Structure 1
Amino acid sequence: MDFYTKLKWILGISLVFALIAATNLVDRSNFMQVKESVATIYEDRLIVKDLIMDMYKAMQQKKIAIISDDSSFMGQRNDVVNNDLKALIERYEATKLTKNEATVFENLKSNIDALWQAEASVTTESFKANEHLLGILAQVESNLDELSDIQISEGRRQVSITKRATDSIELFTQLEIYVLIFLALVIQVIILYKPGRSKES
Protein backbone atom coordinates (compact mmCIF):
# COMPACT_ATOMS: atom_id res chain seq x y z
CA MET A 1 0.00 0.00 0.00
CA ASP A 2 1.63 3.24 -1.15
CA PHE A 3 1.63 6.54 0.72
CA TYR A 4 -1.29 8.08 -1.20
CA THR A 5 -3.50 5.06 -0.62
CA LYS A 6 -2.69 5.20 3.08
CA LEU A 7 -3.49 8.91 3.08
CA LYS A 8 -6.87 8.28 1.44
CA TRP A 9 -7.71 5.64 4.02
CA ILE A 10 -6.60 7.85 6.87
CA LEU A 11 -8.61 10.81 5.56
CA GLY A 12 -11.69 8.63 4.98
CA ILE A 13 -11.59 7.04 8.40
CA SER A 14 -10.76 10.37 10.03
CA LEU A 15 -13.85 11.84 8.39
CA VAL A 16 -15.98 9.03 9.82
CA PHE A 17 -14.25 9.50 13.17
CA ALA A 18 -15.02 13.25 13.13
CA LEU A 19 -18.62 12.57 12.06
CA ILE A 20 -19.22 10.15 14.93
CA ALA A 21 -17.55 12.51 17.40
CA ALA A 22 -19.74 15.39 16.19
CA THR A 23 -22.85 13.19 16.42
CA ASN A 24 -21.87 12.25 19.95
CA LEU A 25 -21.54 15.91 20.93
CA VAL A 26 -24.91 16.72 19.35
CA ASP A 27 -26.51 13.78 21.18
CA ARG A 28 -25.11 15.03 24.47
CA SER A 29 -26.30 18.55 23.75
CA ASN A 30 -29.79 17.30 22.84
CA PHE A 31 -29.86 15.19 25.97
CA MET A 32 -29.04 18.18 28.16
CA GLN A 33 -31.77 20.24 26.47
CA VAL A 34 -34.36 17.48 26.88
CA LYS A 35 -33.32 16.95 30.49
CA GLU A 36 -33.57 20.66 31.31
CA SER A 37 -36.90 20.96 29.48
CA VAL A 38 -38.43 18.00 31.25
CA ALA A 39 -37.07 19.20 34.59
CA THR A 40 -38.70 22.59 33.98
CA ILE A 41 -42.02 20.98 33.10
CA TYR A 42 -41.84 18.83 36.20
CA GLU A 43 -41.03 21.87 38.33
CA ASP A 44 -44.04 23.63 36.81
CA ARG A 45 -46.12 20.66 37.88
CA LEU A 46 -44.86 21.03 41.41
CA ILE A 47 -45.59 24.75 41.40
CA VAL A 48 -49.10 24.10 40.08
CA LYS A 49 -49.61 21.48 42.79
CA ASP A 50 -48.81 24.21 45.31
CA LEU A 51 -51.33 26.57 43.64
CA ILE A 52 -54.00 23.87 43.85
CA MET A 53 -53.25 23.39 47.54
CA ASP A 54 -53.62 27.13 48.14
CA MET A 55 -56.98 27.15 46.31
CA TYR A 56 -58.10 24.18 48.37
CA LYS A 57 -57.18 26.04 51.58
CA ALA A 58 -59.29 29.01 50.42
CA MET A 59 -62.25 26.69 49.85
CA GLN A 60 -61.78 25.21 53.32
CA GLN A 61 -61.94 28.69 54.87
CA LYS A 62 -65.23 29.31 53.09
CA LYS A 63 -66.64 25.93 54.08
CA ILE A 64 -65.70 26.36 57.75
CA ALA A 65 -67.33 29.82 57.77
CA ILE A 66 -70.56 28.42 56.31
CA ILE A 67 -70.73 25.37 58.60
CA SER A 68 -69.85 27.36 61.72
CA ASP A 69 -72.29 30.12 60.76
CA ASP A 70 -69.52 32.73 60.80
CA SER A 71 -71.50 35.59 59.29
CA SER A 72 -68.66 38.05 59.88
CA PHE A 73 -66.56 36.11 57.32
CA MET A 74 -68.69 37.42 54.44
CA GLY A 75 -68.23 40.99 55.55
CA GLN A 76 -64.54 40.86 56.44
CA ARG A 77 -62.47 37.94 55.12
CA ASN A 78 -64.33 36.73 52.04
CA ASP A 79 -63.19 39.56 49.73
CA VAL A 80 -59.54 38.94 50.68
CA VAL A 81 -59.92 35.19 50.04
CA ASN A 82 -61.58 35.85 46.66
CA ASN A 83 -58.79 38.21 45.61
CA ASP A 84 -56.24 35.55 46.56
CA LEU A 85 -58.21 33.02 44.47
CA LYS A 86 -58.17 35.34 41.45
CA ALA A 87 -54.39 35.68 41.73
CA LEU A 88 -53.96 31.90 42.03
CA ILE A 89 -56.15 31.31 38.95
CA GLU A 90 -54.12 33.83 36.92
CA ARG A 91 -50.86 32.12 37.93
CA TYR A 92 -52.31 28.73 37.01
CA GLU A 93 -53.43 30.04 33.59
CA ALA A 94 -49.83 31.09 32.89
CA THR A 95 -48.63 27.47 33.08
CA LYS A 96 -48.65 24.93 30.27
CA LEU A 97 -51.83 22.83 30.44
CA THR A 98 -52.54 19.43 28.93
CA LYS A 99 -55.80 19.02 26.98
CA ASN A 100 -57.52 17.15 29.83
CA GLU A 101 -56.16 19.59 32.39
CA ALA A 102 -57.45 22.58 30.40
CA THR A 103 -60.96 21.07 30.37
CA VAL A 104 -60.96 20.47 34.14
CA PHE A 105 -59.47 23.92 34.75
CA GLU A 106 -62.28 25.55 32.72
CA ASN A 107 -64.82 23.63 34.84
CA LEU A 108 -63.04 24.87 37.96
CA LYS A 109 -63.23 28.50 36.82
CA SER A 110 -66.93 28.12 35.96
CA ASN A 111 -67.67 26.64 39.38
CA ILE A 112 -65.68 29.38 41.14
CA ASP A 113 -67.62 32.02 39.16
CA ALA A 114 -70.87 30.32 40.21
CA LEU A 115 -69.65 30.35 43.82
CA TRP A 116 -68.90 34.08 43.66
CA GLN A 117 -72.34 34.80 42.17
CA ALA A 118 -74.00 32.72 44.90
CA GLU A 119 -71.98 34.52 47.58
CA ALA A 120 -73.06 37.89 46.19
CA SER A 121 -76.70 36.97 46.75
CA VAL A 122 -76.13 35.81 50.33
CA THR A 123 -76.56 38.29 53.15
CA THR A 124 -74.88 37.95 56.52
CA GLU A 125 -78.28 37.10 58.02
CA SER A 126 -78.95 34.20 55.62
CA PHE A 127 -75.38 32.85 55.68
CA LYS A 128 -76.20 30.06 58.12
CA ALA A 129 -75.49 26.55 56.70
CA ASN A 130 -76.26 27.58 53.12
CA GLU A 131 -76.67 24.25 51.29
CA HIS A 132 -76.39 25.87 47.86
CA LEU A 133 -72.96 27.35 48.69
CA LEU A 134 -71.82 24.03 50.17
CA GLY A 135 -72.89 22.22 46.99
CA ILE A 136 -70.85 24.56 44.76
CA LEU A 137 -67.88 24.29 47.14
CA ALA A 138 -68.03 20.50 46.79
CA GLN A 139 -67.89 20.84 42.98
CA VAL A 140 -64.87 23.19 43.23
CA GLU A 141 -63.10 20.77 45.57
CA SER A 142 -63.82 17.91 43.14
CA ASN A 143 -62.21 19.96 40.32
CA LEU A 144 -59.18 20.64 42.50
CA ASP A 145 -58.86 16.93 43.32
CA GLU A 146 -58.91 16.11 39.59
CA LEU A 147 -56.28 18.74 38.84
CA SER A 148 -54.11 17.42 41.66
CA ASP A 149 -54.31 13.88 40.23
CA ILE A 150 -53.36 15.22 36.79
CA GLN A 151 -50.21 16.85 38.21
CA ILE A 152 -49.08 13.55 39.70
CA SER A 153 -49.73 11.53 36.53
CA GLU A 154 -48.08 14.16 34.30
CA GLY A 155 -45.08 14.34 36.62
CA ARG A 156 -44.66 10.56 36.42
CA ARG A 157 -45.03 10.64 32.64
CA GLN A 158 -42.34 13.30 32.29
CA VAL A 159 -39.98 11.37 34.56
CA SER A 160 -40.60 8.25 32.44
CA ILE A 161 -39.82 10.20 29.24
CA THR A 162 -36.61 11.50 30.78
CA LYS A 163 -35.54 8.01 31.81
CA ARG A 164 -36.19 6.56 28.34
CA ALA A 165 -34.30 9.43 26.68
CA THR A 166 -31.41 9.06 29.11
CA ASP A 167 -31.15 5.30 28.57
CA SER A 168 -31.33 5.67 24.78
CA ILE A 169 -28.70 8.41 24.55
CA GLU A 170 -26.43 6.58 26.97
CA LEU A 171 -26.64 3.43 24.83
CA PHE A 172 -25.82 5.30 21.61
CA THR A 173 -22.99 7.13 23.35
CA GLN A 174 -21.41 3.85 24.41
CA LEU A 175 -21.78 2.39 20.90
CA GLU A 176 -20.18 5.47 19.37
CA ILE A 177 -17.26 5.25 21.81
CA TYR A 178 -16.68 1.59 20.84
CA VAL A 179 -16.78 2.51 17.13
CA LEU A 180 -14.32 5.36 17.74
CA ILE A 181 -11.92 3.01 19.52
CA PHE A 182 -12.20 0.50 16.65
CA LEU A 183 -11.55 3.20 14.03
CA ALA A 184 -8.58 4.51 16.01
CA LEU A 185 -7.07 1.00 16.00
CA VAL A 186 -7.70 0.64 12.25
CA ILE A 187 -5.96 3.96 11.60
CA GLN A 188 -2.95 2.82 13.65
CA VAL A 189 -2.76 -0.44 11.71
CA ILE A 190 -2.91 1.42 8.37
CA ILE A 191 -0.22 3.88 9.45
CA LEU A 192 2.13 1.23 10.82
CA TYR A 193 1.48 -1.43 8.18
CA LYS A 194 4.51 -1.96 5.93
CA PRO A 195 4.06 -4.82 3.47
CA GLY A 196 7.22 -6.76 2.54
CA ARG A 197 8.50 -6.32 -0.98
CA SER A 198 8.14 -9.38 -3.21
CA LYS A 199 11.46 -11.01 -4.06
CA GLU A 200 12.43 -11.15 -7.68
CA SER A 201 12.81 -14.71 -8.91
Structure 2
Amino acid sequence: MKNNSSLLGKIKLIIALVLVLGLVIGTNVMDNTSFDIINKSVTTIYEDRLIAHDLLYKISKEIHEKQLLLVTEDTESHQKKNQQMNGTIKSLITQYEETTLTNKEVEYFDDLKKNIEELMNLETQFYQGKVTSEKEGLEEQQQAVFKKLSGTLDNLTSLQLDEGQKQVVYAMRAYQNSDLLAKMEIGALILIGLIIQVFIFYTPFRK
Protein backbone atom coordinates (compact mmCIF):
# COMPACT_ATOMS: atom_id res chain seq x y z
CA MET A 1 0.00 0.00 0.00
CA LYS A 2 2.89 2.27 0.81
CA ASN A 3 4.47 1.52 -2.54
CA ASN A 4 1.21 2.35 -4.30
CA SER A 5 1.00 5.65 -2.43
CA SER A 6 4.60 6.44 -3.33
CA LEU A 7 3.98 5.59 -6.98
CA LEU A 8 0.84 7.74 -7.02
CA GLY A 9 2.81 10.63 -5.56
CA LYS A 10 5.46 10.29 -8.23
CA ILE A 11 2.83 10.21 -10.99
CA LYS A 12 1.21 13.35 -9.60
CA LEU A 13 4.58 15.08 -9.43
CA ILE A 14 5.38 14.09 -13.02
CA ILE A 15 2.00 15.41 -14.21
CA ALA A 16 2.63 18.69 -12.38
CA LEU A 17 6.08 19.04 -13.88
CA VAL A 18 4.73 18.30 -17.37
CA LEU A 19 2.09 21.01 -16.93
CA VAL A 20 4.74 23.53 -15.86
CA LEU A 21 7.09 22.51 -18.66
CA GLY A 22 4.29 22.73 -21.22
CA LEU A 23 3.36 26.19 -20.03
CA VAL A 24 6.98 27.40 -20.13
CA ILE A 25 7.56 26.03 -23.65
CA GLY A 26 4.25 27.38 -24.95
CA THR A 27 4.75 30.89 -23.57
CA ASN A 28 8.37 30.92 -24.73
CA VAL A 29 7.33 30.14 -28.30
CA MET A 30 4.66 32.85 -28.21
CA ASP A 31 7.07 35.38 -26.66
CA ASN A 32 9.65 34.65 -29.35
CA THR A 33 7.03 35.12 -32.06
CA SER A 34 6.03 38.51 -30.63
CA PHE A 35 9.69 39.50 -30.27
CA ASP A 36 10.39 38.54 -33.89
CA ILE A 37 7.47 40.68 -35.07
CA ILE A 38 8.65 43.68 -33.03
CA ASN A 39 12.27 43.23 -34.15
CA LYS A 40 11.24 42.94 -37.81
CA SER A 41 9.00 46.01 -37.58
CA VAL A 42 11.73 48.13 -35.96
CA THR A 43 14.29 46.96 -38.53
CA THR A 44 11.87 47.68 -41.38
CA ILE A 45 11.07 51.15 -40.05
CA TYR A 46 14.78 52.01 -39.95
CA GLU A 47 16.20 50.25 -43.02
CA ASP A 48 13.26 50.46 -45.43
CA ARG A 49 11.48 53.60 -44.27
CA LEU A 50 13.76 56.07 -42.50
CA ILE A 51 16.72 55.40 -44.79
CA ALA A 52 14.46 55.39 -47.85
CA HIS A 53 12.89 58.66 -46.71
CA ASP A 54 16.35 60.18 -46.33
CA LEU A 55 17.34 59.01 -49.83
CA LEU A 56 14.19 60.55 -51.30
CA TYR A 57 14.98 63.82 -49.53
CA LYS A 58 18.49 63.85 -51.01
CA ILE A 59 17.17 63.04 -54.50
CA SER A 60 14.58 65.81 -54.18
CA LYS A 61 17.29 68.25 -53.07
CA GLU A 62 19.47 67.40 -56.09
CA ILE A 63 16.50 67.76 -58.45
CA HIS A 64 15.66 71.16 -56.97
CA GLU A 65 19.25 72.35 -57.43
CA LYS A 66 19.19 71.17 -61.04
CA GLN A 67 16.00 73.15 -61.59
CA LEU A 68 17.64 76.28 -60.18
CA LEU A 69 20.69 75.66 -62.35
CA LEU A 70 18.50 75.54 -65.44
CA VAL A 71 17.33 79.15 -65.06
CA THR A 72 20.84 80.54 -64.62
CA GLU A 73 23.22 81.48 -67.40
CA ASP A 74 24.43 78.50 -69.42
CA THR A 75 28.15 78.02 -68.85
CA GLU A 76 30.60 75.13 -68.92
CA SER A 77 30.90 75.28 -65.13
CA HIS A 78 27.13 74.83 -64.82
CA GLN A 79 27.24 71.86 -67.17
CA LYS A 80 30.02 70.27 -65.13
CA LYS A 81 28.10 70.83 -61.90
CA ASN A 82 24.99 69.32 -63.48
CA GLN A 83 26.96 66.22 -64.47
CA GLN A 84 28.18 65.84 -60.89
CA MET A 85 24.59 66.06 -59.63
CA ASN A 86 23.54 63.41 -62.15
CA GLY A 87 26.19 61.09 -60.72
CA THR A 88 24.90 61.74 -57.19
CA ILE A 89 21.30 61.07 -58.25
CA LYS A 90 22.24 57.78 -59.93
CA SER A 91 24.03 56.67 -56.76
CA LEU A 92 21.00 57.57 -54.62
CA ILE A 93 18.69 55.70 -57.00
CA THR A 94 20.87 52.59 -56.70
CA GLN A 95 20.76 52.79 -52.90
CA TYR A 96 16.98 53.22 -52.94
CA GLU A 97 16.60 50.10 -55.09
CA GLU A 98 18.24 48.08 -52.31
CA THR A 99 15.44 48.89 -49.84
CA THR A 100 12.30 46.76 -49.63
CA LEU A 101 9.60 48.22 -51.88
CA THR A 102 5.85 47.63 -51.83
CA ASN A 103 4.03 47.09 -55.14
CA LYS A 104 2.84 50.69 -55.13
CA GLU A 105 6.35 51.95 -54.43
CA VAL A 106 7.70 49.93 -57.36
CA GLU A 107 5.15 51.62 -59.60
CA TYR A 108 6.08 55.14 -58.48
CA PHE A 109 9.79 54.31 -58.42
CA ASP A 110 9.66 53.13 -62.03
CA ASP A 111 8.02 56.44 -62.96
CA LEU A 112 10.76 58.28 -61.06
CA LYS A 113 13.55 56.50 -62.94
CA LYS A 114 11.87 57.09 -66.31
CA ASN A 115 11.39 60.79 -65.55
CA ILE A 116 15.01 61.17 -64.42
CA GLU A 117 16.25 59.43 -67.57
CA GLU A 118 14.05 61.72 -69.68
CA LEU A 119 15.40 64.77 -67.84
CA MET A 120 19.02 63.76 -68.36
CA ASN A 121 18.43 63.22 -72.07
CA LEU A 122 16.87 66.67 -72.36
CA GLU A 123 19.79 68.19 -70.45
CA THR A 124 22.26 66.63 -72.87
CA GLN A 125 20.37 68.13 -75.80
CA PHE A 126 20.12 71.45 -73.98
CA TYR A 127 23.85 71.81 -73.36
CA GLN A 128 24.65 70.69 -76.90
CA GLY A 129 22.13 73.11 -78.41
CA LYS A 130 23.38 76.16 -80.25
CA VAL A 131 20.17 77.87 -81.33
CA THR A 132 18.48 79.99 -78.67
CA SER A 133 14.95 79.06 -79.73
CA GLU A 134 15.84 75.37 -79.56
CA LYS A 135 17.30 75.76 -76.06
CA GLU A 136 14.20 77.62 -74.90
CA GLY A 137 12.02 74.77 -76.12
CA LEU A 138 14.20 72.23 -74.33
CA GLU A 139 14.07 74.31 -71.17
CA GLU A 140 10.26 74.23 -71.23
CA GLN A 141 10.33 70.45 -71.64
CA GLN A 142 12.69 70.13 -68.68
CA GLN A 143 10.43 72.26 -66.52
CA ALA A 144 7.54 69.92 -67.39
CA VAL A 145 9.64 66.92 -66.32
CA PHE A 146 10.63 68.69 -63.09
CA LYS A 147 6.92 69.04 -62.31
CA LYS A 148 6.35 65.31 -62.86
CA LEU A 149 9.37 64.48 -60.72
CA SER A 150 8.07 66.63 -57.88
CA GLY A 151 4.72 64.83 -57.90
CA THR A 152 6.33 61.38 -58.01
CA LEU A 153 8.72 62.20 -55.16
CA ASP A 154 5.79 63.48 -53.08
CA ASN A 155 3.92 60.21 -53.68
CA LEU A 156 6.93 58.11 -52.68
CA THR A 157 7.48 60.19 -49.53
CA SER A 158 3.83 59.79 -48.53
CA LEU A 159 4.13 56.04 -48.99
CA GLN A 160 7.14 55.96 -46.65
CA LEU A 161 5.07 57.59 -43.92
CA ASP A 162 2.11 55.25 -44.50
CA GLU A 163 4.25 52.11 -44.45
CA GLY A 164 6.16 53.34 -41.41
CA GLN A 165 2.88 53.85 -39.53
CA LYS A 166 1.78 50.31 -40.46
CA GLN A 167 4.98 48.88 -39.00
CA VAL A 168 4.44 50.86 -35.79
CA VAL A 169 0.93 49.38 -35.53
CA TYR A 170 2.30 45.84 -36.06
CA ALA A 171 4.93 46.39 -33.37
CA MET A 172 2.39 47.80 -30.90
CA ARG A 173 0.04 44.85 -31.47
CA ALA A 174 2.88 42.39 -30.88
CA TYR A 175 3.85 44.24 -27.70
CA GLN A 176 0.27 44.25 -26.43
CA ASN A 177 -0.07 40.53 -27.19
CA SER A 178 3.19 39.83 -25.38
CA ASP A 179 2.06 41.89 -22.38
CA LEU A 180 -1.29 40.07 -22.26
CA LEU A 181 0.49 36.74 -22.56
CA ALA A 182 2.77 37.61 -19.65
CA LYS A 183 -0.25 38.35 -17.44
CA MET A 184 -1.93 35.11 -18.52
CA GLU A 185 1.30 33.26 -17.79
CA ILE A 186 1.36 34.55 -14.21
CA GLY A 187 -2.27 33.53 -13.74
CA ALA A 188 -1.61 30.11 -15.23
CA LEU A 189 1.41 29.57 -12.98
CA ILE A 190 -0.69 30.40 -9.92
CA LEU A 191 -3.40 27.99 -11.08
CA ILE A 192 -0.86 25.23 -11.77
CA GLY A 193 0.67 25.86 -8.37
CA LEU A 194 -2.72 25.22 -6.78
CA ILE A 195 -3.22 22.12 -8.92
CA ILE A 196 0.20 20.81 -7.84
CA GLN A 197 -0.75 21.25 -4.21
CA VAL A 198 -3.95 19.31 -4.77
CA PHE A 199 -2.08 16.54 -6.59
CA ILE A 200 0.56 16.22 -3.90
CA PHE A 201 -1.38 16.73 -0.68
CA TYR A 202 -4.89 15.56 -1.52
CA THR A 203 -5.29 11.76 -1.44
CA PRO A 204 -9.00 10.89 -1.32
CA PHE A 205 -8.33 7.11 -1.19
CA ARG A 206 -6.01 7.21 1.82
CA LYS A 207 -7.28 5.19 4.79
Same fold (TM over 0.5): yes
1:166 corresponds to 2:169: no
1:154 corresponds to 2:163: yes
Secondary structure of the 2:127 match is coil
Q: Distance in 2 between matches of 1:19 and 1:86?
A: 55
CA drift of 1:174 comes to: 1.5
Which 5+ residue runs of structure 1 have no aligned equivalent? none
Tell me which residue corresponds to 1:179. 188
Contact 1:67 1:128 in 2 (8 A): no
Secondary structure of the 1:97 match is coil
Q: Which has the higher helix share?
A: 2
1:145 corresponds to 2:148: no
Tell me which residue corresponds to 1:9. 12
Contact 2:67 2:143 in 1 (8 A): yes
How many percent of aligned residue pairs carry the same amino acid? 26
User: Of 119, 122, 125, which aligns to 2:123?
Assistant: 119
**Deviation digits for residues 62-84 of structure 1 (CA, Å, limit 9, x no counterpart):** 11112234544542201100000
CA drift of 1:189 comes to: 3.1
Q: Distance in 2 between matches of 1:70 and 1:116?
A: 16
Tell me which residue corresponds to 1:32. 35
Tell me the matched-pair count: 198
AA aligned to 1:19 is G
CA drift of 1:150 comes to: 0.3
Contact 2:53 2:160 in 1 (8 A): yes
Which 5+ residue runs of structure 2 have no aligned equivalent? none
CA drift of 1:168 comes to: 1.4
Q: Distance in 2 between matches of 1:56 and 1:73?
A: 22
AA aligned to 2:32 is S
Tell me which residue corresponds to 1:63. 67
Q: Distance in 2 between matches of 1:131 and 1:192?
A: 92
CA drift of 1:195 comes to: 5.4
Q: Distance in 2 between matches of 1:54 and 1:197?
A: 81
User: Of 133, 136, 145, which aligns to 1:136?
Assistant: 145
Contact 1:66 1:128 in 2 (8 A): no
Bigger shift: 183-192 or 120-129? 120-129
Tell me which residue corresponds to 1:77. 81
| CA separation of 1:73 and 1:154: change in aligned 2, threshold 3 A | farther
- TM-score where L is the length of structure 1: 0.89
- TM-score where L is the length of structure 2: 0.87
Bigger shift: 116-125 or 188-197? 188-197
Q: Distance in 1 between matches of 2:206 and 2:16?
A: 26
